[in-house]
Amino acid sequence: MISSSAGPRPADFTDVRATNLAVVLRFVRDKAPCSRADIAASTGLNKATVSSLVADLIERRLVREVGLTENRVGRPATMLVLDGSPYASVGLEVNVDYLTAVAVDLSGERLLSWRRSFPGATATAAQAVSAVAALTRRVISRMSRDRRQVLGVAVAVPGLIGTSGTVVVAPNLGWREVDLAGDLATALRDPGFPIQVENDANLAVLAEHRFGPLSGTPNLVYLTGEVGVGAGVVLDGRLRRGGQGFSGEIGHIQINPEGPACRCGRTGCLEAVAGIGVFVSATDPAEVEPEIREVVRRAKAGDRPTLDLLARVGRDLGRGIAIVTNLLNPEAVILGGYYVPLAPWLLPAATAEACDRTLAGDLGGCRIVASTLGYGAAALGGAARVLDSVDSGRLPALQAS
Ligand SMILES: [Zn+2]
């Protein structure tokens, strides 16, 4: 079983060791194949310490040796690469029209990617919890069939998530004060790995930061293109959640005081004027995807009312993006979800409008791009979040042999 502790603890020898193990693990992740001497030279840890740390990581099967290679001074050295073959990191996403599950190995290689339609807008929170638990159980059993141990699960929810994993409010799901992390742990009978719950946009931006074409870019903003619109913000390489974790609710910034009613009870919010709901007449959430396909078909056919609507939504989206570019000066704003298939029509209007409204020239160096990670971005970000925990030193325990 995995043991993992959360929260700050007093520094002691174990912490120093865990920190150093994490330093070595991250070095191997970034630089593999590399030798013990490379690690010592770059990290400043002495060679004996590096050898001991590497032995520990090999024993935990996080790192493995590959053949001998000539190193820089011509002496053969045993090279190290990430292993992680016995492990899986799992992310899930709950949304108004679907559930997604993604599992990756330690190096981020995709092990599975499932998407199920799900009546999130009409299901009760209890029904949602049991649907998520059922899907998680299937992922766990698939992983154990493949002899992989689950390192952790992180669930993306479109809403305000408190620090303990409670969904404070998720307006489009109709949830209020749902202890999703606790309820899932109970439903899974305390599975022995950590369960985290996080805002969907926050996880999606982590997925972009770790796995996307702009991975490693220190300043990124991701906008979810669902019925709701949320922003996930990475600044200086770190996810920014705000005082209580409630940052990024750009969907409820008022864009047009004369605009339509928003599900939050106010009027003219960004998601009311430029969320995917604008394109969708169906009350059945399962119809969102076919309706968006139909919008794409009409746009490709040059249908004037459709093109006008896309241009109008693009401009309103650009107004929202200008708030982001003026406030945060990101290097990229990434449009996700259903914005992706609509991006060819939304991006020109959105970019022009955002440029018009941003004080810095040329959008302050920001690019507005469509995500390439697909509908599973938030779930993939859940898996990235679990890997972040491992990389920061919450390593799986040594297995009793
Ligand atoms: Zn609103």
Output the CA–CA distances (angstroms, integers) from residue 396 to 155, 363, 377, in the order listed. Answer: 20, 43, 25
Span from the CA of 125 to the centroid of ligand 1 (angstroms): 21
Residue 77 per-residue DSSP state: E
- Please count the residues of the chain: 401
> DSSP for 353-378?
HHHHH-SSGGGGG-EEEE-SS-TTHH
For 331-354, letters b (16+ CB in 10 Å) and e give: ebbbbbbbbbbbbebbbebbbebb
For residues 386 and 33, what is the distance between their CA atoms, to the nearest angstrom?
23
Span from the CA of 250 to the centroid of ligand 1 (angstroms): 9
Q: What is the predicted pLDDT for the residue at 384?
A: 96
Span from the CA of 178 to the centroid of ligand 1 (angstroms): 20
Q: What is the predicted pLDDT for the residue at 3?
A: 44
**Tokens 């520990």 found at:** 56
Span from the CA of 229 to the centroid of ligand 1 (angstroms): 9
Span from the CA of 277 to the centroid of ligand 1 (angstroms): 12
Q: What is the predicted pLDDT for the residue at 32?
A: 87
Span from the CA of 173 to the centroid of ligand 1 (angstroms): 14
For residues 176 and 17, what is the distance between their CA atoms, to the nearest angstrom?
41
Phi-psi category of residue 363: left, alpha or beta, with phi > 0 → left and psi -120 to 50 → alpha: left
- Cα dihedral 340, 343, 344, 349, rounded to 10, equals 180
- 34-35 and 110-117 beta bridge pairing: unpaired
Output the CA–CA distances (angstroms, integers) from residue 348 to 12, 222, 299, 387, in the order listed. Answer: 55, 18, 14, 36
Span from the CA of 354 to the centroid of ligand 1 (angstroms): 21
Q: What is the predicted pLDDT for the residue at 1?
A: 39
Span from the CA of 222 to the centroid of ligand 1 (angstroms): 18
For residues 109 and 379, what is the distance between their CA atoms, to the nearest angstrom?
14
List, for residues 294-346, the tens digit of each pLDDT value. Answer: 999 999 999 999 999 999 999 999 999 999 999 999 999 999 999 999 999 99
Span from the CA of 267 to the centroid of ligand 1 (angstroms): 7
- Please say whether the beta carbons of 4 and 394 come within 8 A: yes
- Please say whether the beta carbons of 260 and 268 come within 8 A: yes
Span from the CA of 269 to the centroid of ligand 1 (angstroms): 5
Neighbours of ion ligand 1 (CB under 5 A): 252, 262, 264, 266, 269
157 HSE (CA, 13 A, CB side)? 34
- With CA atoms as reference, report the closest residue to 230 among 333, 154, 310, 131: 333
Query: Which amino acid would we find at residue 119?
Result: P
Q: Extract the tokens encoding 252.
A: 């409820």
Query: Which distant-in-sequence residues (6+ apart) come within 8 Å of 190 by Cβ?
Result: none
For residues 226 and 364, what is the distance between their CA atoms, to the nearest angstrom?
27
Span from the CA of 265 to the centroid of ligand 1 (angstroms): 6
- Please say whether the beta carbons of 269 and 258 come within 8 A: no
Span from the CA of 160 to the centroid of ligand 1 (angstroms): 13
Query: Which distant-in-sequence residues (6+ apart) come within 8 Å of 37 by Cβ?
Result: 47, 71, 77
Longest dimension (CA), the chain: 73
Span from the CA of 289 to the centroid of ligand 1 (angstroms): 22
Q: What is the predicted pLDDT for the residue at 11?
A: 55
Span from the CA of 226 to the centroid of ligand 1 (angstroms): 14
For residues 159 and 171, what is the distance between their CA atoms, to the nearest angstrom?
7
For residues 310 and 322, what is the distance between their CA atoms, to the nearest angstrom?
18
- Please say whether the beta carbons of 156 and 199 come within 8 A: yes
Span from the CA of 117 to the centroid of ligand 1 (angstroms): 25
Span from the CA of 44 to the centroid of ligand 1 (angstroms): 51
Span from the CA of 201 to the centroid of ligand 1 (angstroms): 16
Q: What is the pLDDT along the chain (401 residues), one digit of tens a residue?
A: 344 444 455 556 678 888 999 999 999 999 989 999 999 999 999 999 999 999 999 999 999 999 776 655 666 788 999 998 899 999 999 988 889 999 999 999 999 999 998 888 888 999 999 999 999 999 999 999 999 999 999 999 999 999 888 999 998 899 999 999 999 999 999 898 999 999 999 999 999 999 999 999 999 999 999 888 999 999 999 999 999 989 999 999 999 999 999 988 999 999 999 999 999 876 666 678 899 999 999 999 999 999 999 999 999 999 999 999 999 999 999 999 999 999 999 999 999 999 999 999 999 999 999 999 988 899 999 999 999 999 988 888 766 54
Span from the CA of 251 to the centroid of ligand 1 (angstroms): 6
Query: Which amino acid would we find at residue 401?
Result: S
Span from the CA of 158 to the centroid of ligand 1 (angstroms): 13
0.75 exceeded by pTM: yes
- 323 burial (CB, 10 Å; 0-12 / 13-18 / 19+) is middle
Output the CA–CA distances (angstroms, integers) from residue 212 to 321, 335, 361, in the order listed. Answer: 20, 12, 26
Residue 276 per-residue DSSP state: G
Query: Which distant-in-sequence residues (6+ apart) come within 8 Å of 331 by Cβ?
Result: 214, 217, 218, 219, 220, 365, 366, 367
Span from the CA of 48 to the centroid of ligand 1 (angstroms): 58
For residues 181 and 196, what is the distance between their CA atoms, to the nearest angstrom?
6
Span from the CA of 241 to the centroid of ligand 1 (angstroms): 19
